[in-house]
Amino acid sequence: MLAELVLDCRNQHGEGVFWNPQDGCVWWTDIEGRHLWAYDPVQKSHQSFSMPGRVCCFAPRVVGGFVVAFADRVSLFDLETGREEVIFDFEPENPETRLNDGRTDRQGRLIVGGMNEVSGQANSSVLRIDTDLTVATILKNVACANSTCFSPDGRTMYFADTPDRKIESFEYDTEKGTVSAQRTLASFAAEPGLPDGSCVDADGGVWNAEWEGRRVVRIAPDGKIDRVIEVPVWKPTCCTFGGPGLDTLFITTSRFMSDADVLEKEPHSGGLFAVKPGFRGVLDAPFGG
């Protein structure tokens, strides 16, 4: 199957895509472009919003507005007023790390992880932001956090430390928000790309965007890749199910660190793509804080 371009937004580095049933829009961030984007697939309209920094991932709040993981902090943010309430600063002792990938769990907590964007050392972490805005570390020694998503029942957390070229699964304690019993779900050693952002479908499959792999793959619960979606640009970054029926897979892409020859051949790099792969998704819970 081939994903098709739905918005030629040419993001520098599109990422962190999710479906927001509150407004019927797909939302995502252009990290390097410092904008948030929203696309209404029914009206085929879009908006973008300038942000005061690089937004690495974000999620809607139950009470309105968003919880936003900027590169160096996590905040509550109101797009209409621009009001920001900082929850905490991320790893201020390490100037090489920034926040990267994250999603809410089924209980409405935000799980967000970092990366070392300078040396690539595995010296960042994955954090849990509870609905009372307290913060706890759930994973350490991370080089580049990606693929965070949760099984439909919320009892399994999926995660990739991208340079390891594999997606891990953890038993997830839904009451405490802690992880245990790590195992490898799927190796990407033979895949053309690296594991980037992920989402799940209602049947328990994990869909992963392969950075520099020109595709999105579905990993069945048994760990085997059983679907491949071709993406006509080099750098898919993240994916989510959306649309009124939750049956459209939306895919963000990137132009970041692509040279002029690549962009000439693939001018739609950084666009938003979509496909109907024959599966339905699972709604992410809004952040409860």
Look over the chain and give the mean of its residue pLDDT values, rounded to a whole number.
98
194-217 pLDDT, tens digit per residue, is: 999 999 999 999 999 999 999 999
Domains of the chain, with CATH numbers? Answer: 4-275 (2.120.10.30)
Cβ atoms of 36 and 55 within 8 Å: the answer is yes
Cβ atoms of 103 and 59 within 8 Å: the answer is yes
Choose among 170, 187, 15, 39: nearest CA to 99.
15
44 Ramachandran zone, left/alpha/beta (phi>0; psi -120 to 50): left
pLDDT for res 90:
98
Residue 208 main-chain phi, psi, to 5 deg: -125, 135
% of the chain surpassing 70 pLDDT? 100
CA atoms of 82 and 87, how far apart (whole Å)? 16
Q: Report the Cα 152 to chain-centroid distance in Å.
A: 17
pTM beyond 0.95: the answer is yes
- pLDDT class for 190, splitting at 50, 70, 90? very high
CA atoms of 69 and 284, how far apart (whole Å)? 16
DSSP conformation letters of 63-114:
TSSEEEEESSEEEEE-TTT--EEEEEES-TT-TTEEEEEEEE-TTS-EEEEE
29-72 pLDDT, tens digit per residue, is: 999 999 999 999 999 999 999 999 999 999 999 999 999 999 99
pLDDT for res 40:
98
Burial of 244 by CB count in 10 Å (0-12 exposed, 13-18 middle, 19+ buried)? exposed
Q: Report the Cα 284 to chain-centroid distance in Å.
A: 12
57-111 pLDDT, tens digit per residue, is: 999 999 999 999 999 999 999 999 999 999 999 999 999 999 999 999 999 999 9
Range 46-51 contact pairs with CB under 8 angstroms and sequence separation of 24 or more? 46/7, 46/9, 48/9, 49/79
Residues in the chain: 289
pLDDT for res 189:
97
